[in-house]
Copies of this chain bind each other. A is one copy, B any other.
């Protein structure tokens, strides 16, 4: 019976540490039972956000354009014991957006959270060299698809009595990244989209906020920091000491989706390590 005692003791100690560690379930599991869609979430910032939302209690549906990337991300996150499923979604296609919504509803009975992270790979080059096709693609995917995906998700949020949308923009919305004109402009547009959606959706109890990551170490931004010299030069220009990590963008998104942010809507939070953004 000594072992039983030990076990009991251990169990009590464990229980106590749980009780004292935090004063309530909401704080431990701020997104418990919430259903979250995260687009472009099989890599980089999107993946870090998906992981964090799931760690914070949400059922997360990850997506991106390639089946193998979806499979890899789902496997990795499920392997961490998280409640994650995945589906291919090209957000520029209406039927894909609808399928994404339908899948989440079918799997989990509704949608509470949308994190819109999808963006085309930035075109590097001068604005003066940008063709009509490049502009079309960037405005279509980065701006229009974000608006239309939100539109597709809102009716499901309304059925649940409300919800939360987070749009991923970029610090380049404020302070342009050199050589990325159309990308930067599309991100500025998202600041406005956030404000406008927030105003319109307030009466439906849906909050809409925006994340503006600075320079974060991802495949996406690799071209900006891949050699030591350009990394140093961009750190100098951004007045930052170090490049950020994708996980450093994830906590704020979970926070903005939680009940703790109940009075925050229409706002953009910059995660930029002190790089110049705005007052």
Q: Which residues of A contact B (CB under 8 A)?
A: 3-4, 7-8, 10-11, 14-15, 18-25, 27-29, 32, 55-57, 80-81, 94, 126-128, 130, 132, 135-136, 139, 143-144, 147-148, 151, 154, 173-176, 178, 181-182, 184-189, 191-193, 195-203, 214, 236-237, 239-241, 244-245, 248-249, 251-252, 255, 258, 260-274, 276-279
**Max chain B C-beta neighbours (<10 A), residue from A188, A255, A278:** A188
Q: Determine how close the nearest CB of chain B comes to the CB of A49; give it in whole angstroms.
A: 12
Q: Which residues of B sit under 8 angstroms from A277, Cβ to Cβ?
A: 266-267
Complex: how many Å from CA A134 to CA B143? 13
Complex: how many Å from CA A190 to CA B164? 27
Q: Which residues of B sit under 8 angstroms from A187, Cβ to Cβ?
A: 192
Nearest to A54 among chain B residues (CB) is: B23
Copies of this chain present:
4
Interface of A is mostly: helix
Q: Which residues of B sit under 8 angstroms from A186, Cβ to Cβ?
A: 189
- The answer to whether A261 and B251 touch across the interface, beta carbons within 8 angstroms, is yes
Nearest to A184 among chain B residues (CB) is: B196
- The answer to whether A148 and B173 touch across the interface, beta carbons within 8 angstroms, is no
Q: Which residues of B sit under 8 angstroms from A191, Cβ to Cβ?
A: 188, 279
Nearest to A213 among chain B residues (CB) is: B263
Can you list 23 A-B contacts (CB < 8 A)? A10-B11, A21-B25, A27-B28, A127-B151, A136-B144, A139-B144, A184-B192, A185-B189, A185-B192, A188-B192, A189-B192, A199-B239, A202-B240, A202-B274, A248-B264, A252-B261, A263-B273, A264-B269, A266-B272, A266-B277, A267-B270, A269-B269, A279-B279
